[in-house]
Amino acid sequence: MTLFPRTVNETTSRELRKTFRNPSEIFYPLIFFVLVLTMFPFAIPPVPGLFNSIASGILWTAALLAISLSLETLFKADYRSGALEVIHLSGADLVLVGVGKSLGHWIISGLPIALLAFPIGWALDLNFLTLWVLVLTLMLGSATMSLTGASISALTVGLRGGGFLLVMLTLPFFVPLLIFGSSAATNASLGIVPEAELYFLGGMFVLSLTVAPWATAHAIRIRLG
């Protein structure tokens, strides 16, 4: 992939390699995703068809929570081991490292969750258009989450209250993604092609791609000293 700068390639490969040597890390977000989904039928009134009608929203919410929680591990190991310091002092471009980390995180959490939404949605009787829109919006939205979330993750790395603090900070920023993502899927289930929502999600992705890596680099520098 000479499409990406070398630092991005190397950082992403490093993330993937170290995660695949500890595969349980890949499954935790997925399992959490399904676990959250499973809570809803117990919680909402057993009106026939109710769950299926709000399934898109529930799927999106569960995905949001699972990905937000998985952001905590992004910089934790490197911060604790001192690797983050070493990388910074070696003159590596932290902006590209941030992109690489985000891309790696997306491949490990956002992408699998987006793909898993397909069979789950099918089992919940969602129509074909809805399934595709669901997967697409989740892929796009989770990519944005990985990018923006990386900056907050770097900012809060190693702090007391870790995971909770991180989720508390990121959730308000993810609300627009949730709004447009689930609205897109809901419209798709009504047979409407959700152009506006997809454009917005695409726009948010591009914005985060251009702004978030710089915030991530700054966050790393701030937290290192």
**Tally of CB atoms within 10 A around 197:** 22
Q: How far is the CB of 169 from other proteins (least distance, A)?
A: 4
CA–CA separation, 158 vs 56, rounded Å? 34
Q: How far is the CB of 111 from other proteins (least distance, A)?
A: 20
Q: How far is CA 46 from CA 18, 24, 50, 66, in A?
A: 44, 34, 7, 25
Q: How far is CA 125 from CA 58, 77, 151, in A?
A: 14, 41, 37
Q: Are 64 and 174 in contact, with CB atoms under 8 Å apart?
A: yes
- Comparison of 111 and 218: residue with beta carbon closer to other proteins: 218
Which residues bind to other proteins, rule: CB under 8 A? 6-7, 10-11, 14, 17-19, 21-22, 77-78, 80-83, 85-93, 96-97, 148, 151-152, 155-156, 159-161, 165, 168-169, 171-173, 175-176, 179-180, 183, 200, 204, 207, 211, 215, 218-219, 222-225
Q: How far is the CB of 162 from other proteins (least distance, A)?
A: 9
- Comparison of 35 and 159: residue with beta carbon closer to other proteins: 159
Q: How far is the CB of 18 from other proteins (least distance, A)?
A: 4
Per the listing, tokens 């669901």 go with: 134
Q: How far is the CB of 36 from other proteins (least distance, A)?
A: 20
- Comparison of 130 and 151: residue with beta carbon closer to other proteins: 151
- Comparison of 15 and 116: residue with beta carbon closer to other proteins: 15
Q: Are 201 and 180 in contact, with CB atoms under 8 Å apart?
A: yes
CA–CA separation, 24 vs 185, rounded Å? 30
Nearest alpha-carbon partner for 37 in 119, 144, 140: 119
- Comparison of 76 and 118: residue with beta carbon closer to other proteins: 76
